[in-house]
Amino acid sequence: MQRVSALLPSWDRSSRSSAGSTGKNSLDKVRGWADKIPSSNNRLSGSRYGREAFWAGTLDKECEKAARILQAFCREGLVAPDDRPSSPSTTSSNQTTSQVLKKIPPRIIQNAVGLAIFTSMRSGLWSSTGSGGSGILLARKSDGTWSPPSGLILQTATLGFLLGVDVYDCVMVINTFTMLEAMGRPKVVLGTDVGMTAGPLVSLGLWENEIRCTDLSDTVFTYVRSKGQLAEVKLEGTVLNESTDENERFYGNPFSVPKILAGDVNQSLPQLRPLTEMLKAAEGRTDYDASLLEQLSAHPAPSDASLGYDR
């Protein structure tokens, strides 16, 4: 398994100051968009899992949100088409495609160089004004453990949404150092700066030998989920901005993204524990805190929220 060097590549930080101002403006926009969610019809309103699910929040809340997203993708599973060969005796010409619960296989997370985990929402809700969201980026360190997170702010074209898909969760599995370097820049455009492909899934309860060796390619795997189902939302054109202000607030210093991802910051932060334990489980390890993940499973992933105007 490849590991990230303790000293990640020297990334160009010449635009850091301008990226900081961009990130702040994006943060304000996303918070403004979240205020448009009709709270009276939101089954999650009144709790910290209501509007919080869509806000560009503090980094500790983003980590907890990312842990819930990983749990949905890697343990609970998502509804996806059953693409296994069917028996001729049980298949008819007018039979609809069957669906099964699938998950991200542990081997995919084990081999990952980095992960980007985020939620995005339609911004205008009742108009075509684009969309936004927030999340985190983290990397595999040289010792095999995961780095602290760096915050992300999203700007997305409305065309990326399908009818009825207003909120989605996404996990991007970064498989190469080149792609990790690109993802760690102050601003990256998916589909232009970073190539993507739909990541392999495995049915719950079945072995990972469903994954062909050719599936483990040197690209960024993307997994998109909405309302418990695999969603074919187009991520091309999505802009990921470094959340510079929040990184500085959380870590107490204006650390660069490479420094954060190399682990050269304080990692003994109890706020990161839900994410840390969930990453262990996602890799197929057994030494995670089961009671903590049980508490985590009591709360939905952001894309499972009912906004009250679903079509």
The pLDDT tens digits of the residues spanning 130-147 come to 568 899 999 999 899 999
Span 245-255, average pLDDT: 93
Is 85 part of a structural domain of the chain?
Answer: no
Is 254 part of a structural domain of the chain?
Answer: yes
Phi, psi of 136 (to 5 degrees): -140, 160
Quote the domain boundaries for residue 111: 16-78+98-304
Residues contacting 69, CB < 8 A, separation 6+: 117, 119, 169, 170, 171, 225, 301, 302
Is 8 part of a structural domain of the chain?
Answer: no
Q: What angle do CA 189, 36, 45 make, to 5 degrees?
A: 110
Is pLDDT at 1 greater than 70 in this prediction? no
Is 160 part of a structural domain of the chain?
Answer: yes
Is pLDDT at 95 greater than 60 in this prediction? no
Is 4 part of a structural domain of the chain?
Answer: no
| Sign, Cα dihedral of 159, 161, 167, 168 | negative
Write the single-letter amino acid at 125: L
More confident site: 168 or 47: 168
Is pLDDT at 231 greater than 70 in this prediction? yes
Phi, psi of 194 (to 5 degrees): -135, 125
Contact 243, 151 (CB under 8 A): yes
pLDDT category of residue 234 using cuts at 50, 70 and 90:
confident
Is 300 part of a structural domain of the chain?
Answer: yes
Is 90 part of a structural domain of the chain?
Answer: no
Residues contacting 227, CB < 8 A, separation 6+: 165, 303, 304
The predicted model scores a pTM of 0.78
> Across all residues in the chain, what is the average pLDDT?
76
Name the residue among 196, 175, 157, 244 with its Cα closest to residue 2: 175
Per-residue pLDDT tens over the stretch 46-89: 334 444 445 567 999 999 999 999 999 999 999 998 876 664 44
Number of domains in the chain: 1
Is 5 part of a structural domain of the chain?
Answer: no
